[in-house]
Structure 1
Amino acid sequence: MKLASYQAQHFLWQLEEAVATITLNRPERKNPLTFESYAELRDLFRALQYAEDVRAVVLCGAGGNFCSGGDVHEIIGPLTQMPMPRLLAFTRMTGDLVKAMRACPQPIVSAVDGVCAGAGAILAMASDIRFGTPQSKTAFLFNRVGLAGCDMGACAMLPRIIGQGRAAELLYTGRVMMGEEGLAWGFFNRLCEPQELLEEARKFARMLAQGPTFAHAMTKKMLHQEWSMGLDEAIEAEAQAQALCMATQDFQRAYRAFVAKKKPVFEGD
């Protein structure tokens, strides 16, 4: 399956050098999500499991902001009028987006500038790598609208990224975490100047795309699956995963390149 000709309906899609860039593109509203964009993102990340021409993904927002979360008028308002079965269908659908992001084999690099709030903060959290700026404003602000902080996997994932106490503070208060604090707490891998952010994220994604993509996919799967494993199970799972990687052509290429004192060219098989 190839996604080079994919036509996005609710965001921008670009594929160059095996790196896909997904741009949330409602800058006049700080790139909020709608019912439709949630669903299309979920379906796209599911499709990425089978994409032959995508080796890494960059997720960003247009107009100097990442994502302001669920649209107040197009999501929050209608939710207040829905019966419980439809509410549960919605919350399961948003959770399915996170599941799809974690299940897709490609590393996801989020480029986070400006507002990164609510479900937008979840999208960043669910990515594998996060680049921010000093102006990044990340807030898990569910409690500010009378909701719990346990949204879309936040109570499971955020403590593993920044620690239990820090996650609890952000989820209980809904306060803003600025870029420097996010870097110090381990939420961001690095900070960039706003004008350099997207290119730095793409540069990093291109580096990943040039690597052994089967092995990268295995690393991502193990990082995810080993959350619920004991140490003995994790060591056995990694033994099996590494044996599979040793059977790839990329492993052979790396060995031959080392012997020849050359840089290996990985092809993902």
Structure 2
Amino acid sequence: MGNDNAPRLDPALEAGNRRRLAGYAAKHFGWSVDGKVATVTLNRPERKNPLTFDSYAELRDLFGQLRYATDVQAVVVTGEGGNFCSGGDVHEIIGPLVRLSAPELLMFTRMTGDLVKAMRACPQPIVAAVDGVCAGAGAIVAMSSDLRLGTARSKTAFLFNRVGLAGCDMGACAILPRIIGQGRASELLYTGRSMSGEEGERWGFFNRLCEPDAVLAEARKLAADVAAGPTFANGITKTMLHQEWAMTLEQAIEAEAQAQAICMLTEDFKRAYHAFVAKQKPVFEGN
């Protein structure tokens, strides 16, 4: 029940702020779109799907573009071959890093942090389908997703201190305690030990556990269910979940009042009302 009398968007404004990503050709990982759900597949299974300088940069840029996507309403991130991601490639990242100067190292660490920023800033909910090894930067990618499905054999490790680095990498000290609590996050970041799938579910890192051969399908189903909802409002929810970290309760309540008032102007809000009156299930269109 759209508004046929709504003003048309100026073509120049639309060209600069709306784009389709179904036809995007990824160079350093897999990318596919089925309906409203896109899937990012880390696809170097022979090395347990490590990240490289190239894949970091492309992932950062792609998640940045998702802010303007009109055809993708949820994203699944997964890995090939029974593992999620083993982190930064030892030979293609760790080795070169030990030879870089401080300005170049800061360029790298800012790039990796910008990936997390882009994941948190894109309005699409992100579902991580985690099986097997999920370590280092891979654990960060899972952590930075909105929802996480794991398996009993998932092994998630924030192992930065195992390579002589601080646990405060790519937002881990800010985000992980908010998911599993300060004490549990401290343990993982100080020791670098693996968190098992059962432990991750018990601690709230994983929303639930699935069988290994079903985790990707379950993640896609969850993403599709979310994408079938009021996607503009979902984007507002994601924004508020992120922004309210730095707000007082009074500021958060006022921000939510303004955000909800905006959502009440959407056609999806009207669709939900008319469907309720007609005793039907609403069909949301994201506007």
Partner of 1:73: 91
Partner of 1:141: 159
Matches within 5 A, 1:179-198: 179-198=197-216
1:259 correspondence with 2:277 = yes
Name the SS for the 1:22 alignment partner: strand
Report the Cα distance in structure 1 between the residues aligned to 2:35 and 2:52, rounded to whole angstroms.
30
Q: Which aligned segments of 4 or more residues in structure 1 are displaced greater than 4 angstroms? A: none
- Equivalent of 2:149 in 121, 131, 142: 131
Matches within 5 A, 1:68-107: 68-107=86-125
1:246 correspondence with 2:275 = no
Matches within 5 A, 1:167-246: 167-246=185-264
Task: Please report the TM-score for the alignment, with normalisation by the length of structure 1.
Answer: 1.00
1:51 correspondence with 2:69 = yes
Report the Cα distance in structure 2 between the residues aligned to 1:58 and 1:227, rounded to whole angstroms.
24
Aligned-residue Cα RMSD (Å) equals 0.3
Report the Cα distance in structure 2 between the residues aligned to 1:141 and 1:186, rounded to whole angstroms.
19
- Equivalent of 1:110 in 119, 124, 128: 128
Q: Residue 162 of structure 1: CA displacement?
A: 0.2
Name the SS for the 1:264 alignment partner: coil
Task: Please report the TM-score for the alignment, with normalisation by the length of structure 2.
Answer: 0.94
Name the SS for the 2:33 alignment partner: strand
Partner of 2:23: 5
Name the SS for the 1:194 alignment partner: coil
Q: Deviations over 1:109-167 (max 9, x none)?
A: 00000000000000000000000000000000000000000000000000000000000
Rg (Cα) greater in structure: 2
Report the Cα distance in structure 1 between the residues aligned to 2:156 and 2:230, rounded to whole angstroms.
32
- Structure 1 gaps of 5+ residues are none
Q: Deviations over 1:194-216 (max 9, x none)?
A: 01100000000000110000000
Aligned residues: 269
- Equivalent of 1:165 in 179, 183, 191: 183
Report the Cα distance in structure 2 between the residues aligned to 1:93 and 1:66, rounded to whole angstroms.
21
